[in-house]
Structure 1
């Protein structure tokens, strides 16, 4: 890839203002929530957002998985490398999101819906777990017409790598399809994240339709298990799941890479052109240093893509992902440390190869 990285990374997702709080298991039970999950808010969840504000020490943080990832990537890349697209309202929360993006040097190209408020996401922290409940609001009104605008499509044409979260299947599958096809036709790199366990079963047809275009697929262990069940892969072994997904039919000449993280356990990488799966150990963060785990997965992808854009090998991409994820879990919420972020490779980081 060219090292002129201006506008090289473009991402799509639902920009949300996070309302984060440490809660107890009783609140999860009250709203029928799981300790480590991500769901869309149903009517019964609407009071939850105000409950966090009124009864807990809630923090307001710039969020949305894709925007978190693009912010982190931009912090590790040369100026003006990353651009984020999504829909927001015409309100103070949108200004907060744009301000956080600008602070990281991330360029935004928002579609603004003046009739709906900016989306929010409740983040319920219980120990090392986090349960996410998203009220998309303006975010779910993103229109393909915004993607097709000359000023938006020009951004897409300049990019080298695309990153779209599975959450965007709920909003604009037409955008996903158009960007995927453009990437294939121009020999660029199209990447996606499963993002949440509900995505593979609820949007199975769209996932199947999109999979042939995906050059790099990210996910965690629960999302991988959901994908395996939805696609009838008949295994619970995450290494086998990764390899089977890597081997699914693929458009173009690039082999698909599948990257599955497992928190403080190992990370698995499979590729369609290898019979072996790479398994990378994670150096655990001491428990006393953990703020919460929210945003660690987004940070992993951020650092992985930042290294990938700079033509680094897979080992370095994963090592950088582990490093930045470790930095973020030391914070409260999906925040990056203050000051300059600079990844320094260890020189001793290597996977174990397991034949599948």
Structure 2
């Protein structure tokens, strides 16, 4: 009998319309940007968005990290499995985001801000790298009052899995705390993504406060290193960071899983109930097939969660994440391939085990 997953996954983040363009290093330098980074826009970055539209071949793409993840997960899950929550403006860009979600059959429950425009994210593509600059605007105005409204809290109560990005610490830590506590009190699964190095650096207190509730933590290697520095873990070794974070105090009895991706390098997985790190090799995407790497991390989490929610083994979850990430890097921007997406596990995907 098929598992009932209706409304099983709820995600929170900042819904943003991506403005994507291939640029040169000179433009990055002009705005003080790194080739593979994610930051919040400040006043000096605001002209950048119009510059991309006026001077480059800019494309408008549906974005926002968790919304990208939930779109991908929903494409692999039965219809109605996922719900995304965040704040948008009352404008055309909000409709563009909703249309993209509708296409993936992802249900959205937006808080609509009457005065602020929908947030945007500049994606500056240099080679296979991408630099992201987010202007949150309406997304920044998401308020916990929306989540706790009885009609909206029904989505939280119905869900069994939660996914929130670290970006949301800058917007509504109250929402994160409430959802995390609900998950703990009801024996549900609470997952988060560090999302960007600045999250660990500037929101350390929020990360430390939330970590006991996190059952699965996702990150890439640069975010993991930033976390190690912020928490004073005393190591830059990715395997050691993963294990030390997995072993930090937990609320409740569930073990904590820590999953660190490293692009084309091994994905590192550590758990609080094992003294071995699992190292999963990534099947390389041929260089000529790569569009850009934007959205690959979001897609990895999407593939992982889609299998995890269906009770599949960890090896299968990781393989699905790698597979879906590989599909997205073949596109331009955080897009999924057209047509039906179906993951078929190889049956022979296994990690190398290393004592830590």
**Band the TM-score falls in, shorter-chain normalisation:** over 0.9
2:338 corresponds in structure 1 to: 338
The alpha carbon displacement at 1:309 in A equals: 0.4
1:293 corresponds in structure 2 to: 293
Query: C-alpha distance in 1, partners of 2:21/2:314?
Result: 35
2:75 corresponds in structure 1 to: 75
Query: C-alpha distance in 2, partners of 1:268/1:3?
Result: 29
Q: How do 1:209-288 residues align onto structure 2 when only pairs under 5 Å count? A: 209-288=209-288
State whether structure 2 residue 353 is matched by structure 1 residue 320. no
Query: C-alpha distance in 2, partners of 1:268/1:152?
Result: 36
2:348 corresponds in structure 1 to: 348
1:141 corresponds in structure 2 to: 141
Query: C-alpha distance in 2, partners of 1:313/1:20?
Result: 36
Query: C-alpha distance in 2, partners of 1:33/1:216?
Result: 30
Query: C-alpha distance in 2, partners of 1:102/1:95?
Result: 10
Query: C-alpha distance in 2, partners of 1:322/1:227?
Result: 23
- Any idea what SS the aligned residue of 1:162 has? strand
Q: How do 1:60-99 residues align onto structure 2 when only pairs under 5 Å count? A: 60-99=60-99
- Any idea what SS the aligned residue of 2:197 has? coil
The alpha carbon displacement at 1:3 in A equals: 1.5
C-alpha offsets along residues 48-67 of structure 1, whole Å, 9 cap, x if unaligned? 00110111111100000010
Q: How do 1:18-97 residues align onto structure 2 when only pairs under 5 Å count? A: 18-97=18-97
The alignment yields a C-alpha RMSD, in angstroms, of: 0.6
1:162 corresponds in structure 2 to: 162
Query: C-alpha distance in 1, partners of 2:206/2:53?
Result: 36
The alpha carbon displacement at 1:348 in A equals: 1.5
Query: C-alpha distance in 1, partners of 2:201/2:23?
Result: 29
The alpha carbon displacement at 1:346 in A equals: 1.1
The alpha carbon displacement at 1:224 in A equals: 0.3
The alpha carbon displacement at 1:133 in A equals: 0.1
State whether structure 2 residue 171 is matched by structure 1 residue 188. no
Query: C-alpha distance in 2, partners of 1:170/1:203?
Result: 8
Unaligned runs of 5+ residues in structure 1 are none
C-alpha offsets along residues 146-198 of structure 1, whole Å, 9 cap, x if unaligned? 00011110000000100000000000000000000000000000000000000
Query: C-alpha distance in 1, partners of 2:286/2:348?
Result: 21
- Any idea what SS the aligned residue of 1:229 has? helix
- Any idea what SS the aligned residue of 1:261 has? strand
The alpha carbon displacement at 1:128 in A equals: 1.4
- Any idea what SS the aligned residue of 1:52 has? helix
- Any idea what SS the aligned residue of 2:46 has? helix
Query: C-alpha distance in 2, partners of 1:14/1:250?
Result: 27
C-alpha offsets along residues 286-343 of structure 1, whole Å, 9 cap, x if unaligned? 0000000000000000010000000001100000000000000000000000000000
Q: How do 1:104-119 residues align onto structure 2 when only pairs under 5 Å count? A: 104-119=104-119
The alpha carbon displacement at 1:201 in A equals: 1.4
2:302 corresponds in structure 1 to: 302
Query: C-alpha distance in 2, partners of 1:187/1:221?
Result: 29
Q: Could you state the TM-score of these two structures normalised by the residue count of structure 2?
A: 0.99
Query: C-alpha distance in 1, partners of 2:129/2:152?
Result: 37
- Any idea what SS the aligned residue of 2:265 has? coil
Unaligned runs of 5+ residues in structure 2 are none
